[in-house]
Structure formats: structure tokens, C-alpha cells
Amino acid sequence: MSEAGKRIIFHELLTPEEALNKIFSTVKIEPLGTEVVSIEESYGRVLAKDVYSRIDVPPFDRATMDGFAVRAEDTFGADELNPIKLRVVGNVETGAEELPQVNSGEAVEIATGAPMPPGANAVVMVEYTKRSGDELVIYRSVTPGENVMSAGSDVMMGELILRRCTVIREREVGLLAAVGIDKVEVFRRPRVAVISTGNELVSPGKELGRGKIYDINTYTIAHAVRSMGAEPVIMGIVRDDINEMRSAVDRALSMGDLVLLSGGTSAGLADLTYRVLDEIGPPGIIIHGLKVKPGKPTVVAVSRDGKLVIGLPGYPSSALMIFNIIVKPILAKMLCTGVDEVRIKARLAIRADGAKGRRALYPVSLVDTGHGVVAYPLPAESGAISTLAFADGYIAIPETVEYLDSGDEVEVALFTHQYMPANLYIIGSHDLGLDVLIPMLPGFVRARVINVGSMGGLYAVKRGEADVAGLHLVDEETGQYNIPYMIKYNVNNAVLIRGYFREQGLIVPRGNPKNIRGIEDLLRGDVRIVNRNKGAGTRFLLDLKLKEIAAKMGVKFEELVRKVNGYYYEVKTHTAVAAAVAQGKADAGVGIRAAAAMYGLDFIPLGWESYDFAIPIDRLEKDSVKAFLNMLKSDEFRNALSKLPGYRVSDDIGTIIWKGQ
């Protein structure tokens, strides 16, 4: 790429709509020709031609009930008190070819689905008849056409049954089979070459070396391509090397109708990608970035022979979001399907910030509260693929909006058409005991766990969004757990249910090399800690212990905290604390014993805490909540929990220990 080309990088960011317009006006995107497939192989394929029926469905007048084919006129006036007698002159089974004639005063026994015999125009259901020999007594009259489906009433000969550009799935193939069509002309599947770039990438299944991560985008993008009805061509991992990248892009261009490349577009190595993508032109690069967050480093290039190459951001969740807003509409055009994104309205659970002149995209988790759906925005830019895996869809905050507040209405574009709302929302503190309990719940319970910390759970219960919130909040004055918080925060719409006890302590490397014996040692300066996020019960516990020490020493808490090396190094779960210690990123952290045990680390006990469950009173009658409480109280669960180190159960587990008024 020329120097002049380099300089315009990121200067003209486009909105997704502007980008698509530019793409569609630069390259002609249309279906890529057709092929004929058998209906067995037609799943997900797109019809290239309108389909007409060559026959009537049903092809003949057909009985829809078991009974007797009659002339309706013969039955007029029949009822329980005035039955009418007819003579049975024959019998018609399904598939029968020879049909007896029905004359006045006669009836023919007939099975559901069998063709109506000539002369008859209605079927009397067998329930309203009594037969002895060939004598038939009828207790109810029928009107002409009753219990008969007439020829062509479902589909008429010559009728347009499926339009061009329709996707064939189970219902459509049923229609094709009904009219006897066994082969259909469909659009050729676009071949989409998928390239992952990065020196750090290793294919799943291989050994991870130092500083390496598994390649995610090859697989997420390939499946996203498949879900659109296109065919991925996996090109594999390409190093951040201009020659490797060049030859991979050339190969991809020769094999694919469209090329999707991910990574290598953020600052630093971006020049490399830009140079390779510009070389495929003219025109080369046509879009240098998008006005969206995440997804700014999205590039679009067009090759000499008019093929599109889209450079997606490296972060897997960003790459998938951009796939949704940019690649989907392109593939939809190649397939003639249109983007059939399902949108639903929801209220925001918490404030979500805009992106200052860029469109902010947030994956969201949906909670069906029973009185409306609430959307929890999840951070997408952190690069966490798990947020996307648990998201139901995404929202977009317009470029011009500074932020949306909790309670604001948003439109959620669903990731899947089969959105099945969960029926048990567990929102609150992360706990390993819950991970044991949830899989034990009966099959009808569809649990959704959202880890937002104890305080987040408390608010979610108060707002009626959570069915259950796991809490472990220690009161500074009394050292009592949870109940003081229910009172202080007026969570009067809820009860507190006794959960279990967890042993909290300092998680330190095996052998405790720094000889840490208690919280005081965290002030030593040579000990770096890992802390939990604000609002986490464990964070409250550490602060409580530090406040006790501060009081004893006669210094302010804020001053004392400054002496704790790593106090602001925050992670979100117990297991993340243990992982940080195991990887040597910290010398100690507060967490539960079970997390230490999971990583084979040493544990210095600080005490037992109560992990209880807040539940809105009006949810206690909900079937899924009942199932949760039953399982909590069961011996089966107690046994399973007792296998987790550092967990203890008391006899009152599952009972109400506090109730709001």
C-alpha cells in the first residue's frame, strides 16, 4: 500500500449501513447460480425457482373420520330419538382402488383417509352408529361435505406453493413431498474461505505453548457461515507474516466466493493486513473501519475480479458481532434469503453507556420477569467468548446517544430463532455449590445463571428480575450475614432462605512460600494480592477484616488499603482468584476453600460464612423455584455438596430465615 493509502486508515469510519451501501455499490452481490438437489438433501437450501403444484392435494375426496359414507340427505332428521336405518353395501379401506356405489338408503363403511365412494357426500362418525350385520342405525344427521376433505382443498393443481428464495426446512419439504416433487432447483451455496491470523494461535486439540491461545474464530465464523446456509472453506491459521498472509489470501480468493479473515487489524500489526488486502485490488481496500464498538478495526477489500475480503476484528465476540451486522446481509444477498433477524422489545436492567460517536453493540442476556423481559448488557469488548455464548441477542446504542438508563426500552436482535426463555433466573454471587445443584434440577427447569456479585443479586431480587439470588454479605457492625442487608436495602418483597456455609480464607501457593498466616501479612509489601470485584461478598469480607486492623492500629481504612499491594487487582470469581495465585500473578487472595482445592493450592482459613438465597415472595409459588428449594433440601444435594471441600450444611437448609413485610 502506498503512503497515501496508509494515512487514511481510520480517518473515514462508516456506520454499518454506510458500509453495506458502499459494498453493494462497489461489487455486484447476487446468487451464484443454481443446482438441482433431491428433497432429502434440501435442508437449509434456498429455492431458485417458484414451485407450482402439478396435482390436487388431496388428489381425491377423502374421509377424515372412521365411519360410514352416506348420502347426507338420507340422514336428515336423525337424532337419538329418531334414528334412521341404512343398509351397509360395502367397505372402503385407505388406498382402495375399487369403490362401491352408494345409492339412496345405503351406506359404505369407510376408514380415515380412504377415498369417498361415488354417490356418497358425507361421513357419519362411527360413534353415532350401531351396526348389526348389514343393518346400520344412525343417531345423528350429517350435512353434505361433513367429515370429507374434498379434492384440491389443501393444494390446488397449478397453485404456487413455494416462492423463489424460500429456505427449505421441515415444513417446506412437507409441501414439496405432498405434491410429489422429489427434486428442486436451489441456489448454489456460497463458499466462504475462513482465515485466522496471529502468531499466538494454536488449533484446539494441540498442546498450548507459552503465550499461546486457542484459535476460536475459525470455528465460530465457520459455524456462523453454516447457519446462514453457506459453506465454509477452512484455510487455517496464518502467521503475522506478510508472505504467509499474502499467499493465504490468494489461495482463499481462488477457493472462496467470499473471504473472511480475522485478527491482525488492531494497531501494531494492522499495516500488514492493510497492505495485503490493498494489494488484491484495484480497488483494494474500500472500507477502513466501522463506527461501531466493538468492531472499529473492520476492513473491507475488493479483489481485481470483484471478490470481497472482509477483515474482522480479532476478538472472537467482536468478530461474531461484526459477522452479524456486516457479513450476514452479504450472505443473505448471495443466498437470496434476506436477513430474518428476530427482534423483541425489552427493558434495560442496568445502565449501558454509548460509545461517543460510535454505535455501541452489547450482547445481552434476557430475563423474563413474568411482567416483561429485561435485558442485561454484557461487556463484549473484553474479548470474553463466554459472554457471547450465554447471550440471547444484542442491542445497539445509537452513535448520538450518551447512555441508556436502566428501565429504558431497547430492541434486542436475537441470535437465535429458537429463543427459549429460561424459567429460573439465578442472579448474584458466583458459587461452586450452585454449579453442583443446577444440573440436579428436574428437566423442566431451564436455569440461567448470571454472576453479578452479591449486591447485584440483591438489587435484581428487589427489582423482581431474579428468581433466586445467592448472597454472602457480611455486616460490618455485627458480623452477621445477609439479613442486615435485606433490611438496610429494604428488600421487603423477598424472603431469605438458609443456604449453606462456606469456608473463606486466604488462597496461597502450595507450600505457602511467603509464609502468610493471616490478613496482617497482606500489609507486608512483599505480598501482592488478587482482590474481588466491588459488590462481591468476598470483597466485603476482606474489607471488614482490614477495617478491624485499621481500627486496632488507629489508622484510616483508606490509608491502610494503600499498603495492600494488589488491592485494585480485581477478578470476578472465586476460581479466578485461585487461578491468579496458581499462575503466580498474585501471592494471595481471599476465596473459598473449594476454589483453592480445585487448583491444588494451600488455604489459610479465615472463618465460615453464610451463603443464603434471597427469593421474591411472589416467586415462591413458581414451579421452577419450588423445584430449586426441594432440591436444596434434598439428601441427594447434601451428599453431593459434602464432597466439596469447605462446604457445610445445617439442618435448616432451605427454610425461611427472614421475611420482608
Q: Taking the CB of residue 348, how many other CB atoms lie within 10 A of it?
A: 23
Q: Which is nearer to ligand AMP, 202 or 620 (CB)?
A: 202
The DSSP output letter for 420 is -
Q: Which stretch binds ligand AMP (CB under 6 A): 215-223, 275-283, 447-455, 565-573?
A: 215-223
Burial of residue 501, with CB atoms counted within 10 A of its CB: 0-12 exposed, 13-18 middle, 19 or more buried:
buried
In whole angstroms, what is the distance from residue 232 CA to residue 455 CA?
A: 44
Give the residue, chosen from 58, 198, 505, 646, that forms a contact with Mg ion under the rule CB under 5 A. Answer: 198
Grid cell listed for 319: 468478530
- Minimal distance, residue 191 CB to ligand AMP, in Å: 20
Grid cell listed for 403: 447512555
Q: Which is nearer to ligand AMP, 238 or 495 (CB)?
A: 238
Kindly provide the b/e burial profile for residues 190-215, where b requires at least 16 CB atoms within 10 angstroms of the residue's own CB: bbbbbbbbbebbeeeeeeeeeeeeeb
**Dihedral, CA of residue 572, residue 575, residue 579 and residue 581, to nearest 10:** 90
Residue nearest to ligand AMP (CB): 314
Give the residue, chosen from 67, 117, 229, 316, that forms a contact with ligand AMP under the rule CB under 6 A. Answer: 316
Is residue 142 within 8 Å of residue 123, measured between CB atoms? Answer: yes
Sign of torsion over alpha carbons 42, 44, 47, 52: positive
Q: Establish if 58 lies at the interface with Mg ion (CB under 5 A).
A: no
- Minimal distance, residue 270 CB to ligand AMP, in Å: 8
- Amino acid symbol at 391: A
Residue for cell digits 433440601? 633
Q: Which is nearer to Mg ion, 31 or 198 (CB)?
A: 198
Q: Taking the CB of residue 488, how many other CB atoms lie within 10 A of it?
A: 11
Q: Which is nearer to ligand AMP, 382 or 639 (CB)?
A: 382
Q: x/- site string to ligand AMP, residues 361 to 400, per CB under 6 A?
A: ----------------------x-----------------
Give the residue, chosen from 23, 57, 216, 576, that forms a contact with ligand AMP under the rule CB under 6 A. Answer: 216
Q: Where are the alpha helices (DSSP H) in 228-327?
A: 242-255, 270-279, 316-322
The DSSP output letter for 600 is T
Q: Establish if 31 lies at the interface with ligand AMP (CB under 6 A).
A: no
Grid cell listed for 552: 486496632
In whole angstroms, what is the distance from residue 646 CA to residue 502 CA?
A: 6
Q: Establish if 262 lies at the interface with ligand AMP (CB under 6 A).
A: yes
End-to-end CA distance of the chain: 70
- Which stretches of 39-83 are assigned E, i.e. beta strand? 51-52, 62-63, 67-70
Q: Establish if 314 lies at the interface with ligand AMP (CB under 6 A).
A: yes
Residue nearest to Mg ion (CB): 198
Q: Which is nearer to ligand AMP, 313 or 433 (CB)?
A: 313
Number of residues near ligand AMP (by CB under 6 A): 17
- Minimal distance, residue 169 CB to ligand AMP, in Å: 31
**Residue 53 contact among ligand AMP, Mg ion, none, beta carbon within 5 to 8 Å by kind:** none
Sign of torsion over alpha carbons 220, 223, 225, 231: positive
Give the residue, chosen from 53, 217, 573, 575, that forms a contact with ligand AMP under the rule CB under 6 A. Answer: 217
Q: Taking the CB of residue 654, how many other CB atoms lie within 10 A of it?
A: 19
Q: Which stretch binds ligand AMP (CB under 6 A): 134-142, 211-219, 421-429, 529-537?
A: 211-219
- Minimal distance, residue 273 CB to ligand AMP, in Å: 8
Residues 6+ apart with CB under 8 A from 545: 519, 606
In whole angstroms, what is the distance from residue 19 CA to residue 322 CA?
A: 12
Give the residue, chosen from 115, 152, 264, 464, that forms a contact with ligand AMP under the rule CB under 6 A. Answer: 264
Q: Establish if 75 lies at the interface with ligand AMP (CB under 6 A).
A: no
- Amino acid symbol at 129: T
Q: Which is nearer to ligand AMP, 141 or 196 (CB)?
A: 196
Q: Establish if 264 lies at the interface with Mg ion (CB under 5 A).
A: yes
Q: Establish if 201 lies at the interface with ligand AMP (CB under 6 A).
A: yes
Q: Which stretch binds ligand AMP (CB under 6 A): 19-27, 192-200, 242-250, 609-617?
A: 192-200
**Residue 262 contact among Mg ion, ligand AMP, none, beta carbon within 5 to 8 Å by kind:** ligand AMP
Q: Which stretch binds Mg ion (CB under 5 A): 5-13, 164-172, 260-268, 285-293?
A: 260-268
- Minimal distance, residue 266 CB to ligand AMP, in Å: 4
In whole angstroms, what is the distance from residue 465 CA to residue 447 CA?
A: 14
Give the residue, chosen from 117, 263, 297, 363, that forms a contact with Mg ion under the rule CB under 5 A. Answer: 263
**Residue 216 contact among ligand AMP, Mg ion, none, beta carbon within 5 to 8 Å by kind:** ligand AMP
- Residue 602, CA distances (Å) to 427, 493, 592 in order: 30, 41, 11
Q: x/- site string to ligand AMP, residues 126 to 155, per CB under 6 A?
A: ------------------------------
In whole angstroms, what is the distance from residue 621 CA to residue 44 CA?
A: 42
In whole angstroms, what is the distance from residue 572 CA to residue 595 CA?
A: 13
Q: Which is nearer to ligand AMP, 152 or 264 (CB)?
A: 264
Q: Which is nearer to Mg ion, 314 or 505 (CB)?
A: 314
Residues 6+ apart with CB under 8 A from 463: 349
**Residue 217 contact among ligand AMP, Mg ion, none, beta carbon within 5 to 8 Å by kind:** ligand AMP
Q: Which is nearer to Mg ion, 198 or 453 (CB)?
A: 198
Residues in the chain: 661
Strand partners, 269: none
- Amino acid symbol at 362: Y
Q: Establish if 311 lies at the interface with Mg ion (CB under 5 A).
A: no
Q: Which is nearer to ligand AMP, 263 or 591 (CB)?
A: 263
Binding site for Mg ion (CB under 5 A): 198, 263-264, 314
Binding site for ligand AMP (CB under 6 A): 196, 198, 200-201, 213, 215-217, 262-266, 314-316, 383
